[in-house]
A and B are shown apart, each in its own frame.
Chain A
Amino acid sequence: MNPNNYLYLSAVLFSIGAVGVLVRRNAIVVFMCIELMLNASNLAFVSFARVWGNLDGQVIAFFVMVVAAAEVVIGLAIVMTIFRTRRSASVDEANLLKY
């Protein structure tokens, strides 16, 4: 199968994730969109590894997964805390840290 198709899919997934981060207000959804972007990049890494016959891309993909797992732990904890104190998970309302 043509590896270009995997890359197109990766680009589409990344764009969906990016647009989701920019337009959605719910912190959980934003969070999921970020995961989508991470996995899109993972797909690109693995595809390139296949194209070049080189394992480096796959190794990087593992690293990204580890980082993503750690990020989920902290990120969800923060989202939970914000929700408990403000009874809302909207990222637009958590805007106290500013000029």
Chain B
Amino acid sequence: MSSFSGAVTLAVDAPVAVTASGTFSLIWLLIGLPLIGAVILLVGGRRTNAFGHWLGVLASAASFVVAAVLFFAMLAQPLDGRTQRQHLFDWISVGTFKVPADLRLDQLSMTFVLLITGVGTLIHLYSVGYMSHDRDRRKFFGYLNLFVASMLLLVLADNYLLLYVGWEGVGLASYLLIGFWYFKETAAVASKKAFIVNRVGDVGLSLAVMLMFVTFGSVTFDGVLARASQASESQLTWIGLALLLAACGKSAQFPLQSWLLDAMAGPTPVSALIHAATMVTAGVYLIVRSNAIFDAAPTAQTAVIVIGAITLLMGAVIGCAKDDIKKALAGSTMSQIGYMVLAAGLGPVGYAFAIFHLVVHGFFKADMFLGAGSVMHGMNDQVNMRRYGALRTVMVATWLTFGAGYLAIMGIPPFAGFFSKDNIIEAAFSRGILVGLVTVVGAGVTAFYMSRLFVMTFHSTKRWTEDVHPHESPMIMVVPIAILALLSAIGGLVLNWNNAIVSWLEPVTGFQEPELAVSKLGMEGISLVVVLAGAALGWMLYDRRPVPEMAPAGNLLTRAARADLYGDAVNEAVFMRPGQYLTRWLVWFDNRVVDGAVNGVAATIGGLSGRARRLQTGFTRSYALSMLGGAALVAIALVLVRL
């Protein structure tokens, strides 16, 4: 950090975008390639079964190559030429409301593009092996490509409406992939749950877009963010809170966290790509991208910090109690995204660190999810860690690579998490002692539950069921994990070298050196001690003592954490039951009151008509009499009027 000491740069004016030309006119290909892949695989149907998976890998890899080319082209640009805009077509043009379909490639979206295509390609490769026995493998790759294209659209969009398209696209892909094994009831239910909870968040995003249009008359990044200072603070606060709601839905933050744990019913590569590395971090992207709004709305920023802190602790507590390896990792994902959201709420002190942690989390969490998939692959798809144990003896490669991710997430130097998490802890302490303490405690709990998971899976004693014969996974699965493990090991060091990632992102997010009461080294020391204490506790409890094969009853907190801290129960009591009662009452009202009125009118008229019908006697002479009487009445009336 020394190079930045004293240098305080607040969020600068958004850099002026340059119209993309030359190499940068390839930006559309980033989205186009996986989209073409998805279209071919999903429209081509069974004819593409034979080569479909390799086509999917190729589309993703080609997108990564384009991303790499663009990255080096961007490095060659001067600082003020790095924000590139490519105009695709005029999308909406109604009166003064104009939304062009523009793509924007700057340092922030470039970082995401590299993460999505890079990790995405590795997971595509892994899936070739993992899904090799699935008869719908081609469809799986079609959905994965669709996801990659949507996610790239999300991060490359130059206005909030186009971002919304990508936002919904990843939601759709997530729904399709969680429910990929739709014949399993848990998967089918989980996909619906994820879709519905995400809709709640989407209401926030659409409200934010509408508020932006009302306030600024525009929904483009330039039109909104550059003019944020012209709006009043209350307007910006409402926009910020709406954006936060959107981020909560997509990133599984409190109070919309309940879908993520159930989403683990999907195939493991999906959990790694969508529900750990990329899609669930879209909320963090949204907040960091909208930094100008949050910088000018301190109330919204405080809300972001509070949400991040709550989720950080919730996720960590849940992670401690789960026996399902994927659910424990999902709790950890919630918790780590809580870190990122908290950092993003800190303002210019934290934006760059949030993205830094997001990137390395993408590495180590994808690494560990793929590792978990590899373990499940060898254990007949069992997920109960109480029936694992001592797997290091038979799955050496998985053990080593998972170990790299384990050390990275705990933040043991020099593994990746150390640099990113430590930066966030420092930034949090510069905001306030309470926020700082939450992050340190979270780091300690993280170390405990990750040690628990690691020990129960790879160390301790064998507790296998009799029908399993654990074996190492094929090369095509091990190689992607190994690459991710390498990135987890050295990624943080490389990205933090000379503050590379901070100075790279600074033109977009701004940066401010955190002010610390203690020296940086002291800070790192304190958090390292807490982490080691947590890890030691985990090893003592689960390595030294035998792990029971049946889960013990546990204390109050453990039972609560096993039930996801009653998130579902609260949702059911607060939203679902009242809604159900309201519906029932409405049905009753409809049946009795509305239908009663309509049917009553009909019955009355019917009854009167029945009486009136009796006048039609079929007796001709009575008709003649009534005609005569009528005619006489008319005649009398005429005479009376005349007089």
Residues of A whose CB lies within 8 Å of any CB of B are 18, 21-23, 25, 91-92, 94-99
Contact = CB atoms under 8 A, between A and B. Distances in A.
B625 A97 contact: no
8 contacts: A18-B628, A91-B620, A91-B621, A95-B618, A97-B618, A98-B616, A98-B618, A99-B616
Nearest to A94: B620
Given A22-B624, A95-B619, A96-B618, 5 more contacts: A18-B628, A91-B620, A92-B620, A99-B614, A99-B617
Q: Is chain A's interface secondary structure helix, strand, loop, or mixed overall?
A: loop
Contacts of A25: 621
Nearest to A96: B618
Contacts of A91: 620-621
B544 interface: no
Interface string B621-632: 100110010000
B619 A22 contact: no
Nearest to B617: A98
A84 to B, nearest CB: 18
Interface string B584-624: 00000000000000000000000000000110111111001
B614 A22 contact: no
A20 B620 CA distance: 13
B631 to A, nearest CB: 9
A92 B624 contact: no
Contacts of B614: 99
Given A22-B625, A22-B628, A95 B616 contact: no
Interface residues on B, range: 10 to 19
Contact of B621 (A21, A96, A98): A21
A40 to B, nearest CB: 13
A95 B617 contact: yes
A66 B618 CA distance: 29
Contacts of B617: 95, 98-99
B628 to A, nearest CB: 6
A65 B619 CA distance: 28
A72 to B, nearest CB: 18
B453 to A, nearest CB: 85
Given A18-B628, A22-B624, A22-B625, A92 B613 contact: no
A44 to B, nearest CB: 13
A82 to B, nearest CB: 11
A75 B620 CA distance: 14
B612 to A, nearest CB: 9
Given A18-B628, A22-B628, A92 B621 contact: yes
A91 to B, nearest CB: 5
User: Would you list the 7 A-B pairs with minimal beta carbon distance, nearest first?
Assistant: A98-B618, A95-B618, A99-B613, A91-B620, A99-B616, A21-B624, A98-B616
Contacts of B613: 99
A23 B621 CA distance: 8
B230 to A, nearest CB: 79
A35 to B, nearest CB: 15
Contacts of A95: 617-620
Nearest to B632: A18
Contacts of A94: 620
B633 to A, nearest CB: 14
Contacts of A96: 618
B273 to A, nearest CB: 77
Contacts of A97: 616, 618
Contacts of A21: 621, 624, 628
A74 B624 CA distance: 18
A98 B614 CA distance: 8
A69 B161 CA distance: 82
B619 A92 contact: yes
Contacts of B625: 22
A59 to B, nearest CB: 22
A55 to B, nearest CB: 24
Contacts of A98: 616-619
A25 B624 CA distance: 12
B627 to A, nearest CB: 9
Contacts of A18: 628
Interface in B232-271: none
